[in-house]
C-alpha cells in the first residue's frame, strides 16, 4: 500500500515571468517523483498597480494571475519547499523578504524543522548576483532548521555548454536581460532541482 502523498510547494515572486517559468519547470521535475503532490503559489505583491505599470510588468503578471497567493502558514503543510525570487542588488526581492518576515511564528514553533528546501533565482546579467541571492535566502532557511538541496552534482548541464546559461550547484537560475526568457538548458536544470528536492523529501517523509 502506498503511503500518504508527499507535499512539495513551490513559492515564488515574479514580475516579468522569468521566475514563473522556472517555477513551472521545478514543478515538472518534482512531479516525476512517485507520490509527490506539487502545488505552486506566489507571494503577495507589495508594489502598487501604478508602479507595476510604470515598470512595464502589467501584462507579464497576467501570465500567472491564476496562481494562488501564499499565506506563510501553508509552509507548515509541506514536506519540501522550493523558493523562487529574482535578484535585487545581489539579494532576494523585497516581496519574498516580506513574506519570509511573516514566518516568525513558524520559527518559534519549529514548524519548518527538517523540511527540505531549495532556492532558484534570476538576474539581469550573467554576473548579476545569482549565487549571492540564493545563499542569502539559504541563511533564512537554515534559521528555520530546513535541509538545503541545490542542484545535484550529476546534473551535466551545469558544465560548459554552447550557450551562456544560468544554474549552479546552489540552485537553478536564468539570465533575464534584454527580454531573454529561460533557455531549455536552464529549464532542465530547474527540473533537475525540483526532482532532487522531491527525492530527498521522499526519503525523509515516506
- Cell readout for 114 is 527538517
Looking at CATH, the fold of the domain delimited by 6-205 is given as: Rossmann fold (3.40.50)
| Alpha helices, H only, the chain | 18-31, 49-54, 58-61, 94-101, 104-109, 130-143, 184-205
pLDDT at position 30 is 98
Asked whether 8 and 80 are in contact (CB, 8 A), the reply is yes
| Alpha helices, H only, 35-183 | 49-54, 58-61, 94-101, 104-109, 130-143
pLDDT at position 161 is 74
Task: Report pTM.
Answer: 0.95
Give the start-to-end residue ranges of the domains of the chain. Answer: 6-205
Q: What is the chain's alpha carbon radius of gyration, rounded to the nearest angstrom?
A: 16
- pLDDT tens digit at each of 206 positions of the chain: 355 689 999 999 999 999 999 999 999 999 999 999 999 999 999 999 999 999 999 999 999 999 999 999 999 999 999 999 999 999 999 999 999 999 999 999 999 999 999 999 999 998 899 999 999 999 999 999 999 999 999 999 998 777 889 999 999 999 998 889 999 999 999 999 999 999 999 999 98
**Would you give the DSSP letter of residue 64?**
G
- DSSP percent split of the chain into helix, strand, coil, nearest 5: 45, 20, 40
C-alpha distances in Å from residue 185, one per residue of 38, 130, 145: 22, 16, 31
pLDDT at position 2 is 53
Task: Say how far apart CA 126 and CA 45 lie, in whole Å.
Answer: 26
pLDDT at position 179 is 86
pLDDT at position 120 is 98
Amino acid at each position: 500500500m502506498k503511503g500518504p502523498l508527499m507535499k512539495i510547494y513551490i513559492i515564488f515572486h515574479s514580475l516579468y515571468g522569468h521566475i514563473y517559468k522556472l517555477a513551472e519547470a521545478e514543478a515538472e521535475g518534482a512531479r516525476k517523483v512517485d507520490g509527490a503532490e506539487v502545488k505552486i503559489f506566489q507571494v503577495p505583491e507589495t508594489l502598487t498597480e501604478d508602479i507595476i505599470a510604470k515598470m512595464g510588468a502589467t501584462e507579464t503578471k497576467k501570465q500567472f494571475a491564476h496562481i494562488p497567493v501564499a499565506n506563510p502558514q501553508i509552509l507548515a503543510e509541506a514536506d519540501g519547499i522550493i523558493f523562487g525570487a529574482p535578484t535585487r542588488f545581489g539579494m532576494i526581492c523585497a516581496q519574498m523578504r516580506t513574506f519570509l518576515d511573516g514566518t516568525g511564528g513558524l520559527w518559534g514553533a519549529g514548524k519548518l524543522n527538517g523540511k527540505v528546501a531549495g532556492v532558484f533565482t534570476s538576474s539581469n546579467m550573467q554576473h548579476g548576483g545569482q549565487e549571492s541571492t540564493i545563499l542569502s535566502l539559504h541563511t533564512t532557511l537554515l534559521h528555520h532548521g530546513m535541509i538545503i538541496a541545490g542542484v545535484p552534482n550529476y546534473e551535466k548541464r551545469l558544465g560548459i555548454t554552447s550557450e551562456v546559461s544560468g544554474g549552479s550547484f546552489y540552485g537553478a537560475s536564468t539570465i533575464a536581460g534584454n527580454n531573454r526568457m529561460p533557455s531549455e538548458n536552464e529549464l532542465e536544470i530547474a527540473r533537475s532541482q525540483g526532482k532532487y528536492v522531491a527525492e530527498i523529501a521522499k526519503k525523509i517523509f515516506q
